[in-house]
Amino acid sequence: MDSEPIGILGGSFDPVHNAHLSIAHGALALLGLERVLWLPSGVPPHRAAPTAGIAARLEMLRLAIAGEARFAIDPRELAKTTAAYTVDTLLELRCEHGDARALVLLIGGDQYSRLGTWHRWQDLFALAHLAVFARPGWSPDADVPDALTMEHARRHCAPGADWRSRSAGAVIEVPMEPLAISSTEIRARIERGDVPRDMVPPAVLEYIFLNGLYGNP
């Protein structure tokens, strides 16, 4: 490949937290990415609308990734008024970067186990590699569709494998000890009056409290 792979990390980031950053930094180091594009979702197809508004989520994300030149925010999904599907976003990115550039969708193991519920999920493999971040020894849950089990069996590889010679199609298993953090728990703790310093970057936490987000007292 003439250029290094580009990582893609999507989510509502409501708020962005330390586990998101751990995945992004791990991807840079272990997958040799040129950069990571952070894709905040607009109207998510699989969950309720975000609690914080677009402007607040964008500002929290900007604060969280400040200082890392290889991180960038891609706001394209925020402009859509209907559900933004990952496959459509990857189609747009593939058109922009060409057929030869490797694109790598970064997802957690729990997300990957639910991949069979995603819109046109089988088309994802023609558009990008999937890097799955999960605990060592992780494997997809036993109740995933047979079709996903078969796709995983023939596509999975380690970070050091030869997937970089292709632009898409591999499932790269990236073992890591993920942080037990979720945006849902962070919002609940803030609403109770807790200060989740161990979960959120300091600048993001300050922004949350200065702007009264998530019902904090």
CATH number for position 165 = 3.40.50.620
Asked if residue 84 is part of any domain, the answer here is: yes
Asked if residue 200 is part of any domain, the answer here is: no
> What is the pLDDT, as a whole number, of residue 143?
63
> What is the pLDDT, as a whole number, of residue 177?
75
> What is the pLDDT, as a whole number, of residue 110?
85
CA 134 – CA 136 distance, rounded (Å): 7
pTM of this structure = 0.93
DSSP 27-66: HHHHH--SEEEEEE-SS-SSSPPPSS-HHHHHHHHHHHHT
Asked if residue 204 is part of any domain, the answer here is: no
- What range defines the domain where residue 85 resides? 6-178
Asked if residue 30 is part of any domain, the answer here is: yes
For the chain, what is the domain count? 1
Asked if residue 183 is part of any domain, the answer here is: no
DSSP 96-110: HH-SSS-EEEEEEHH
> What is the pLDDT, as a whole number, of residue 107?
94
Strand-pair partners of 104: 7, 129
Asked if residue 189 is part of any domain, the answer here is: no
Asked if residue 212 is part of any domain, the answer here is: no
Sheet-wide strand order for 71-73: 71-73, 35-40, 6-11, 103-108, 129-134, 171-175, 156-157
> What is the pLDDT, as a whole number, of residue 46?
65
Q: Taking a C-beta distance cutoff of 8 angstroms, is the pair 102, 35 a contact?
A: no
Walking along the chain (217 residues) 10 residues at a time, the average pLDDT comes out as 86 96 94 96 75 96 97 94 91 96 94 91 97 79 79 92 95 83 94 94 97 86
- One-letter amino acid at 27 equals A
> What is the pLDDT, as a whole number, of residue 112?
92
Asked if residue 215 is part of any domain, the answer here is: no
